[in-house]
Structure 1
Amino acid sequence: MDHLAGMAPLAPRYEGFILDLWGVIHDGVRPYPGAVKVMERLRARDRRVVLLSNAPRRAIAVARGMTAMGIPPELYDGVMTSGEAIYEGLFTRADPWFARLGRRAFWLGPPRDLPLLEGLDIDIALRPEDADFVLNIGADEAVSATEIAPHVPALEACRRAELPMLCANPDLVIVREGQRILCAGALAEVYAGMGGEVVQRGKPDAAIYPPTLALLGVPPERVLVVGDALRTDIAGAAAVGLESCWVLGGIHDLVGRTAEAEAEAAAAGLAPIATIPSFVW
C-alpha cells in the first residue's frame, strides 16, 4: 500500500468516492480541518461523492446534521446510512428475516434517535418480555456512553425473553471530540456472546453497497472507498471488491506508524491501496 500525505494523488485515478463520516469528515460535532476543502476540490474536478455512514438515523437526518456543521449538500451526491437500511427493511419486510419480526420493539438506545421509527408500523414495548424483537440503536448516555457493564442487565433481560436483535449500527465505538463512545455494535457483540440472535445492517455488510453504488452512479472499478475503520470501512469495501484508502488518524490513531498500520491490515487480511493521516488534500 502507498502511504500518502493526502487525497491529491488519488483524485485523478477515480471517478467516484464513497466517504465515511465519523473519523474521516467530522468528529460528530465539527468537520476535521481540511475535510471540507477536499470535498470542494473533488467537486471542482467533477468527481461523484456519496457519504456512507453507520449512523442509526435516516439519510435525510444525517444530511441535515452535515448542513448544520457547515458541510452543504452541494458537496455530495447522496447519503446512505445503516439507519436508512434498517428503516427500509422494517418498512418493506421484503427480507425474510425482517418479515418474521413482529411489530413490538424493545428499544436500546438514546431517545433522540426515536425519529428513525417515524412512518413505521412499530410500537415500543417498555419491557423485553412484551416485545417481539430488540432494536439496538446504541448506548444510551443516560446509562453509560463509555462503559459496557451498565448495559448488560438490559441485554440479559432481552436474552431471557429470547428476542432477536436488529442492530442499527455495526460500529463498536466512535470518537466524539476525542472521547471514545460505545456504539450498537459493541452491545450486539455482547448479546451474540450470550447466544442471542443478531442481524446487523451497515458496513461491513455487503447489502449496504448496492444502494450506495446506485446513488453514486459510477462503475465499481472507478470507485474509491475512504474510511478510518479496518473492521467496517476497509473490510466492507473488500467484501464487494472496491478499492479503499485508510485514514490512519481516525479510530485506530496510527498517524506516523505506517509499519504498525501495515501489520494490522495484514493481520486482518486486508489490503487498502493507500493510507493517509487525515482527510486532507
Structure 2
Amino acid sequence: FLLDMWGVMHDGEKPYNGVLEVIQKLKNYHQDNENKKKKKLIIVSNSSKRRSNSVKMLRKLGFNENDFDEIITSGEVAHHLLQYLSSSDISRNNNNNNAFCFGSGDEDEIYLNSCGWTLAENIESANLIVARGTFVIHQKQNENDDDNVMKNNGVVVDKKIDETLYWKTYQDVLDKAARKQIPMIVCNPDKIRPDIDKSPMPGTIGVAYEELLSKYHGGNKNNDDGDDNYDNSAFSTESLVLYLGKPFPSVYEIALSSISSSSDGDSSSDDIDKSRVVMVGDALETDVTGATVAGFDSIWVINDGIHYQDVNGCETVLQDFNQKSELTYAKGRQVSPTFVIPHFRW
C-alpha cells in the first residue's frame, strides 16, 4: 500500500476517524490470516519538507512511524538531488551554488545550506530555482523602498505581510528567470492545499514558469510529445522544470525499491508485481494520475481531502477532471480510479 498523508490519513491537525485502526489492521493482516503475505505500508507524500518532519507529524497525530516500511517525501527526494548537484562536476566548474528560493518560510535557508547550496539574494545571482513553498520569496528588496524593506526585513517578501508586493515580486522573478532559462526544481507538485481555502501550492509556480518559458523560448512542455512516460529525468533546453513527487515517476521508483529491499530474498524493483501495488490518495491529479501512469491500482478517497467539497457525485468530478485533462499533469490521459471509498477506514 502506497499511502498519501494529508487528505487520507489526517487533515493537518488530527487523524481521520478510523485511520489509526486501519493501519494496525493492515500491518497485522498476515498474522490474522494464515498463509497471507505481510502488507508493506509506504507513505508517499508530496510535502516539500524532509522525512524527519513527516515523522514528527505522525508522532504528533498518534501514529507509530515504525508501522511504515518507508516514509518518502518530495522534500527528501529533492534534498538528495540537490546534494548530488552541489557536488557535481557542473556545479564545481560553475563555482556557483546559489539557489533562488520560493519558500515555506520554515527553515528554507537551513534546508538549502544542508545540501550544499547558498540562498541567492536575487534571481540575477542564481543558477537554480527551488520552489518549496508559496508563502515567502527570498528576494533582497530595493533599499530605496523603505516601507517594504522595513515590513519584509529587506530579504524576505512575506505574502502575509504584503500580498501585493509578494505577487509583484513573484511575476518579476519568474519573468527574469524565464528569459535567462534558469532551471527549477519543484519540491512539491501539488497545485492546491487540501484545506478549506484551497491555497496555492508549489506546483502552481512550476506551471506558471513553464508557460513563461514557452512564451519566450517556444519548444515543448513536459510530455507534450504524447509519450506515456514522463521525461523529466534531467534538465534540457526543452524542459527546465523538474517536478519531484506524485504523479511523476521518481517517487514511485523509490517506493518500489523500498518494497524490494524490505522483501525476503534478493529482488529488485523490476521484480515487483505491480498488480499487488495500490496507491491510496484523495487527489485525482496527483495520486490517481500517478498510479495510472505507474501501472498501479488506485483507491480514491472522496469524502476527505482535496475533493470533499466538490464530491456530490464522484462520477461527475471524475468526468470534469478528464474533460480538462490537457490542463493537468495527466496531459490528456483519461484516468479512472480502480476503487472509490468515502474514507480510509476498515
- C-alpha distance in structure 2 between counterparts of 1:273 and 1:265, whole Å: 16
Deviation at 1:235, TM superposition (A): 0.9
- 1:280 and 1:155 mapped to 2: Cα distance? 43
Q: Is 1:105 aligned to 2:99, yes or no?
A: yes
SS in 2 for 1:211: helix
Per-residue CA shift, 1:4-50, capped at 9, x if unaligned? xxxxxxxxxxxxx0000111111222212222221121112142100
- Code of the residue aligned with 2:78 in structure 1: it is I
How many Å apart are 1:266 and its aligned residue? 4.8
Q: How far apart in 1 are the matches of 2:322 and 2:100?
A: 39
Structure 1 residues 153-172: aligned runs within 5 Å: 153-172=172-191
More strand by share: 1
Residue 278 (structure 1) aligned with residue 315 (structure 2): no
TM superposition shift of 1:192:
1.3
Is 1:201–2:244 an aligned residue pair?
A: yes
* Aligned partners of 1:86 and 1:168 also within 8 Å: yes
DSSP 3-state at the match of 2:300: strand
CA contact (8 A) 1:106 1:134 kept: yes
Largest Rg, 1 or 2: 2
Equivalent residue number for residue 10 of structure 1: none
1:160 CA displacement? 4.7
Aligned counterparts of 2:3 and 2:316: Cα–Cα separation in 1: 24
Task: Please tell me whether the aligned partners of residues 113 and 119 of structure 2 are also in contact (alpha carbons under 8 angstroms).
Answer: no
Is residue 47–residue 75 contact of structure 2 (8 Å, CA) maintained in 1? yes
The whole-number CA distance in structure 1 between the counterparts of 2:255 and 2:312 is: 32
State how far apart, in whole Å, the 1-side matches of 2:167 and 2:112 are: 27
Report the more deviating stretch, 250-259 or 27-36: 250-259
Using the alignment, how far apart are the partners of 1:274 and 1:264 within structure 2?
18
> Structure 1 counterpart of 2:245, which letter?
G
For residues 23 and 113 of structure 1, the distance between their equivalents in structure 2, rounded to whole angstroms, comes to 24
The Cα shift of 1:275 comes to 0.7
- What is the rounded CA distance, in whole Å, between the counterparts of 1:206 and 1:276 in structure 2? 25
Instruction: Specify which of 258, 261, 264 is matched with residue 215 of structure 1.
Output: 258
SS at match of 1:179: coil
CA distance in 1, matches of 2:321, 2:298: 12
Runs of 5+ consecutive residues of structure 2 not aligned to the other structure: 31-38, 137-157, 215-239, 264-271, 326-333
Which deviations, in whole Å up to 9, do the C-alpha atoms of 1:174-198 show, x marking residues without a partner? 123x332221001111111111731
Using structure 1 for the length normalisation, give the TM-score: 0.83
Report the equivalent of 2:153: none
Per mean C-alpha deviation after superposition, the further-off stretch among 142-151 and 81-90 is 142-151
Letter of the structure 1 residue corresponding to residue 315 of structure 2: A
| In 2: Cα distance, 1:153 partner to 1:33 partner | 44
**Alignment map for 1:1-281 (pairs within 5 Å):** 17-46=1-30, 47-93=39-85, 102-114=96-108, 115-140=110-135, 142-143=158-159, 149=167, 151-176=170-195, 178-195=196-213, 197-217=240-260, 219=272, 220-249=274-303, 250-253=305-308, 254-264=310-320, 266-267=322-323, 268=325, 269-281=334-346
1:166 positional shift: 1.1
- C-alpha change, 1:266 and 1:173, in structure 2 (3 Å) is closer
Q: Report how far residue 247 of structure 1 moved.
A: 1.1
Identity, in percent, stands at 27
Letter of the aligned partner of 2:287 in structure 1? D
Superposition deviation, residue 109 in structure 1:
0.9
Q: Answer yes or no: is the 8 Å Cα contact 2:27–2:67 preserved in 1.
A: yes
Q: Which moved more, 1:105-114 or 1:135-144?
A: 135-144
TM-score, scaled relative to structure 2? 0.69
- The corresponding residue for 1:12 is none
**Unaligned stretches of 5+ residues in structure 1:** 1-16
* Deviations, residues 144-179 of structure 1 (Å, cap 9, x unaligned): 599994533333343355422111111001123x33
Flag the 1:113–1:234 CA change in 2: closer, same or farther, 3 A.
farther
Q: CA deviation at 1:120?
A: 1.4
CA RMSD of aligned residues (A): 2.9
Contact 1:247 1:275 in 2 (8 A): yes
Amino acid at match of 1:272: P
